[in-house]
């Protein structure tokens, strides 16, 4: 059962990467954060600090505070 769960999670992550790529393409958004997300979800690596904001406290930037116009 664990092998099946891992395989399904890998498939789900692959689907997430395809969705992100499709949305990036449709939005004609080609910024640094878009490529960072695609690279992250296309790899097996896990980064607990991937999100640019903390999950359980009020420090850091929230999604609405991010300025995509500053992408380089």
Quote the pTM value.
Answer: 0.55
Q: Domain residues for 38?
A: 2-70
Q: Name the token pair of 47.
A: 């980064």
pLDDT digits (tens, 9 = 90+) for 4-37: 899 999 999 999 999 888 888 888 777 788 888 8
Q: What is the DSSP string of the chain?
A: -HHHHHHHHHHHHHHHHHHHHHHHHHTT---HHHHHHHHHHTSS---TT-SSS-SSSS-S--GGG--GGG--
Please give the Cα distance from 21 to 37 (Å, whole number): 9
Q: Name the token pair of 3.
A: 């092998």
Count of structural domains, the chain = 1
């Amino acid at each position: 059962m664990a092998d099946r769960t891992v395989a399904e999670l890998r498939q789900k992550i692959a689907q997430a990467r395809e969705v992100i790529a499709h949305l990036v393409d449709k939005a004609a958004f080609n910024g640094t954060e878009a490529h960072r997300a695609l690279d992250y979800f296309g790899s097996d690596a896990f980064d607990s600090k991937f999100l640019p904001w903390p999950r359980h406290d009020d420090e850091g930037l929230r999604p609405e505070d991010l300025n995509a116009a500053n992408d380089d």
